Amino acid sequence: MGSLSVQWAALAALKEKNQGRSILSLFDTPNRASEFSAQTGDMLFDYSKTNLDAETRDALLALVEAADAPAKCAAMFGGEAINDTEGRAVLHTALRNLDGGPVYVDGFDVMPGIHATLERMRIYANHIRNSDITDVVNIGIGGSDLGPAMAVQALSPYHDGPRCHFVSNVDGAHIADVLRGLEAKTTLVIVASKTFTTIETMTNARTAKAWMQAQGGDASAQFAALSTSEEKTRDFGIPPERVFGFEDWVGGRYSLWGPIGLSLMIAIGPDRFDAFLRGGQEMDRHFQTAQGVGNLPVMLALVGIWHAQVCGYASRAVLPYDQRLARLPDYFQQLEMESNGKAVQMDGTPVDVSSGPIVWGAAGTNGQHAFYQLIHQGTRIVPCEFMIAAEGHEPDLAHHHQLLIANCLAQSEALMRGRSLEEARAKMEAAGLSGDELERQARHRVFTGDRPSTTLAYPRLDPFVLGQIVALYEHRVFVEGVILGINSFDQWGVELGKELATSLQPIIEGHADASEKDGSTAALVGFLHQHQKQ
């Protein structure tokens, strides 16, 4: 188990020792809720409905120390090349360092460049907001899509700019459905790609350009690019004044804070975009300065480690009780799974514990009527991460919000408390059943309970709070990655599929045969060719 074997063993022993102790019983201790929660400003992270006690928490904190997390955190903020399989610094935090000092990469302060690009974005965003442009189409995929798409939806009450649309899938259905109904002359197309090589994005970008030209739009004026590659954006025909660049030390899934956030800035305006950055900056400060149990990202990470690596729960559900955060589970899925879904440590040796969990989820209350059945009564334990605002943006519909809160809190209570066989029997008796039928029906109504969950509570989903939430999870992923000993900032696992797709393309197009492929692939190619009519 590498250098943390002692700490992992201690945690395994604590898990063993506390086997059978219910989460509910932990509330016999006074102040359980306040002692097992952390707060920064108006944001509260409650992890009291988990099986952590003070001893386990100390053992988890020992993991943080043993992994040298504080020094690694300083190295990240300090611009060291901690992404060492790609030889890059990791400085998405610099993009939101609005009020901070210089940040050096190889002895060079990157802040003047960041401020200059941000200022160009502001000018451009205001120009678009004050122009005839009615629709913005962001073409990108992965980190160049999920972040802005999630955030534009999350902040819709603040959206006073042109409508925003997002095209990501290479499936022609996606771009066809988005462009249908748009007026080319009043549409701005933003091609968002860090590398400007991603096949899905470049294919969609060329299709959008052809559509623009065919529909009488001005492709030379109505395209902007967000990328690290000046050369490739120029080759595509987008002039430098409409290219917003960033450096390779901003990872795709961490890039919402900079040029990749342009569609968001156009939607909500530069001032509110600044508030979003300030929320992230505030979480950075908290992460760097709050000690031990008072540190939200650290505690969120440790709860995650406890559930995934110590208890062996394979997945976790992100459950925002906030319809406007409906895309947040998708966004966190990339953030966490592309960052920590790896089998080797920094030094190339295997990870000795399981790597990052499967992250999934949906907005509440919708999920309650879809998959919560399994969460409550299935044989697998799924730790749940609830999120809830104290109030919504619809004062006239405040009663909806009260109902939303009631549902959110009811779910975490039900998961913890459950319903015993005796209680189920009493219910069946009250319903008039008796004998074998009562017994049979009662068993279907038992909830084992003792299922862990956390709740993140915040005043209202405004730009600042969204910035806090996103940065909170980024740092959580960082701390978990440090404890696992892996590089959270590369993504070699996406390469093989890309290479094989490139080699399959001529076969699918009929320019090469499939004889070199395995039997299944060759047969599938044959079937699909046989059924192609166009």
Active site residue 17: no
Return the range that interacts with ligand F6P (CB under 6 A); candidates 86-94, 142-150, 275-283, 385-393. Answer: 142-150
**Does 204 interact with ligand F6P (rule: CB under 6 A)?**
no
CB of 152 to ligand F6P, least distance (A): 17
Return the range that interacts with ligand F6P (CB under 6 A); candidates 41-49, 135-143, 453-461, 478-486. Answer: 135-143
**Does 198 interact with ligand F6P (rule: CB under 6 A)?**
yes
Q: Which is nearer to ligand F6P, 141 or 482 (CB)?
A: 141
Closest C-alpha among 72, 192, 77, 84 to residue 492: 84
**Does 141 interact with ligand F6P (rule: CB under 6 A)?**
yes
CB-CB contact of 527 with 508 (8 Å): no
CB-CB contact of 382 with 375 (8 Å): yes
Q: Which helix (H) or strand (E) holds 63?
A: helix 54-66
Active site residue 369: yes
CB of 307 to ligand F6P, least distance (A): 25
The residue behind tokens 């907001």 is 129
Beta strands in 193-345 (DSSP E): 223-227, 243-245, 315-321
Single out the residue of 88, 194, 286, 342 in contact with ligand F6P (rule: CB under 6 A).
194
Please provide residue 165's backbone torsions phi and psi, each rounded to the nearest 5 degrees.
-130, 155
Q: Which is nearer to ligand F6P, 18 or 117 (CB)?
A: 117
Single out the residue of 210, 214, 494, 524 in contact with ligand F6P (rule: CB under 6 A).
494
Helix intervals (H) in 94-198: 111-129, 146-154, 172-179
SS3 for 360? strand
Closest C-alpha among 98, 94, 65 to residue 77: 94
The residue behind tokens 């480690």 is 305
**Residue count of the chain:** 534
Residues whose CB is less than 8 angstroms from the CB of residue 270 and which lie 6 or more positions away in sequence, other chains included: 121, 122, 125, 126
The catalytic position among 115, 400, 498, 529 is 498
Single out the residue of 201, 355, 453, 487 in contact with ligand F6P (rule: CB under 6 A).
201
CB-CB contact of 182 with 193 (8 Å): no
**Does 252 interact with ligand F6P (rule: CB under 6 A)?**
yes
CB of 501 to ligand F6P, least distance (A): 12
Quick one: tokens of 318? 């992100």
Q: Which is nearer to ligand F6P, 198 or 468 (CB)?
A: 198
Single out the residue of 142, 356, 418, 467 in contact with ligand F6P (rule: CB under 6 A).
142
Active site residue 531: no
Report cis status (omega within 30 of 0) of the bond before 365: yes
SS3 for 456? strand
CB-CB contact of 442 with 403 (8 Å): no
**Does 193 interact with ligand F6P (rule: CB under 6 A)?**
yes
**Does 491 interact with ligand F6P (rule: CB under 6 A)?**
yes
CB of 198 to ligand F6P, least distance (A): 3
Q: How far is the C-alpha of 452 from the C-alpha of 416, rounded, in Å?
A: 6
**Does 88 interact with ligand F6P (rule: CB under 6 A)?**
no
Return the range that interacts with ligand F6P (CB under 6 A); candidates 82-90, 192-200, 276-284, 306-314. Answer: 192-200
**Does 233 interact with ligand F6P (rule: CB under 6 A)?**
no
Residue nearest to ligand F6P (CB): 252
Q: Which is nearer to ligand F6P, 88 or 253 (CB)?
A: 253
**Does 259 interact with ligand F6P (rule: CB under 6 A)?**
no
Q: How far is the C-alpha of 16 from the C-alpha of 25, rounded, in Å?
A: 17
**Does 144 interact with ligand F6P (rule: CB under 6 A)?**
yes
Please provide residue 214's backbone torsions phi and psi, each rounded to the nearest 5 degrees.
-70, -30
Residues in contact with ligand F6P by the rule CB under 6 A: 141-144, 193-195, 198, 201, 252-253, 338, 491, 494
Catalytic residue numbers read 338, 369, 498
